[in-house]
Amino acid sequence: MKNIDIKRMIKQLPIGISIFLLSAFLRPNRVHAEFSSELSKVMTTYCAKIDAYFKKYKWGKSNCDTYKWNHVRNSVAGDPLSWVVFGNQEPGKDKKIEATMIMCGVHGDEITPVKFCFDILTMLKNSPALYEGKSVIVAPIVCPDSFFKNKPTRTNANKVDINRNFPTKDWHSHALKYWSSRYRKDPRRFPGHKPLTEPEVVFQVNLIKRYAPDKILSVHAPLTMLDYDGPSDLHSHQHLDEGANELLIQMAQKAKGYRIIDFPHYPGSLGNYAGNELKIPTYTLELPSSDPAKSEEFWVLFKDAITEAITKDLKRIKDNSSTVQANPGEAVGKSSATKAEQGADQTDQVAN
Ligand SMILES: [Zn+2]
């Protein structure tokens, strides 16, 4: 039905009813609009593709077609770079809304994180209380081109590692240099010829700009650790962001004392861009393995940690406490830094 017909219809109704109908018609769908009654053609096709991979990995049903997907741009090979928002749809415009952004499937050869994000979608769908008065943004397959392959790859269709292509301040001076010296031009870690050349990176940068998240969780595998970048970075111990550090410890505790490791910043990585430069607490969860058969096990292990990450209101904690100078002998910094020093050499070659 065309707009003009609706307007004509409304004109013939009593004024009070007309105003009500017109406002309902014009009002954007903001609250609890995360479940879809109709899916775009593009997303219907994409959900069928997702379902086929769920079948391949014996993951059961994805329920992909039950969510209200957002989609603006496509991957290099043309799949929709899509995301779902639970709760408040525009947290960036309301400074009081806590927004948590969760991203999976950044490296397509890390299979388990994709199922992990769909488990998060299911949990949110079944427990609206988790995001009441909040906003949770979930992008479950950030790099579809690397995931939807017979032999999934780390890099995207342009053969770029999208976790090295963020426009960080050190990109021009260090990204290619680091790639050739440290990684001996390993094609799996190619950062691109320039920063921000890849649609999957533009996608993430725009999501961050649009929703202004208070924290970001990026799920990878298989390094078996939790890494943190952001205010009060473990490197510097300069300013303690109480809530962000508290959450780091709580997440580890809720996952049977999962190991916290302070990874170095890489030129062009999300942790460097969002955590180090934009000062958004950014948590990189590295699941213990990429084996699709272990997905259920990992969800059981981390479900409470994810619940904590979604429900913890970092904005409120930050607003209620003034910036406190860190004491390097206390909080998470010291103990984890020691682990970091031990762990860095072992894990450096397989960096997230
Ligand atoms: Zn990764």
* Residues 180, 290 within the same domain: yes
What is the distance in A from the centroid of ligand 1 to the CA of 265?
A: 14
* Residues 12, 54 within the same domain: no
What is the distance in A from the centroid of ligand 1 to the CA of 61?
A: 25
What is the distance in A from the centroid of ligand 1 to the CA of 201?
A: 14
Three-state helix/strand/coil letters over 44-76: HHHHHHHHHHHHHCCCCCCCHHHECCEEEEECC
- For residues 55 and 50, what is the distance between their CA atoms, to the nearest angstrom? 9
Q: What is the pLDDT of residues 258-314, one digit of tens each?
A: 999 988 889 999 999 999 999 999 999 999 999 999 999 999 999 999 999 999 999
Structural domains of the chain, count: 2
* Residues 65, 10 within the same domain: no
Check if the beta carbon of residue 157 is closer than 8 Å to that of residue 81. Answer: no
* Residues 230, 250 within the same domain: yes
Q: What is the mean pLDDT of each run of 10 residues along the chain (352 residues)?
A: 45 51 42 62 96 98 96 96 96 87 98 98 97 97 97 98 98 97 95 98 97 97 95 62 91 97 90 95 97 98 98 88 44 33 39 69
What is the distance in A from the centroid of ligand 1 to the CA of 352?
A: 4
Length of the chain counted residue by residue: 352
* Residues 54, 17 within the same domain: no
What is the distance in A from the centroid of ligand 1 to the CA of 221?
A: 6
State the pLDDT at residue 332.
Answer: 35
What is the distance in A from the centroid of ligand 1 to the CA of 139?
A: 15
* Residues 194, 302 within the same domain: yes
What is the distance in A from the centroid of ligand 1 to the CA of 30?
A: 33
Check if the beta carbon of residue 77 is closer than 8 Å to that of residue 112. Answer: no
Q: Look up tokens 């762990």; give the residue.
A: 343
* Residues 185, 214 within the same domain: yes
State the pLDDT at residue 323.
Answer: 46
What is the distance in A from the centroid of ligand 1 to the CA of 74?
A: 21
State the pLDDT at residue 31.
Answer: 40
* Residues 51, 172 within the same domain: yes
State the pLDDT at residue 238.
Answer: 55
- For residues 190 and 82, what is the distance between their CA atoms, to the nearest angstrom? 24
The alpha helices in the chain, defined as continuous H runs, are 3-11, 15-26, 41-56, 112-126, 144-147, 176-182, 199-211, 242-254, 270, 295-311, 314-320, 331-347
* Residues 84, 232 within the same domain: yes
* Residues 13, 53 within the same domain: no
State the pLDDT at residue 17.
Answer: 52
* Residues 72, 19 within the same domain: no
The CATH number that applies at residue 310 is: 3.40.630.10
* Residues 123, 91 within the same domain: yes
State pTM to two decimals.
0.83
Tell me which residue range forms the domain holding 287.
Answer: 31-350
What is the distance in A from the centroid of ligand 1 to the CA of 290?
A: 10
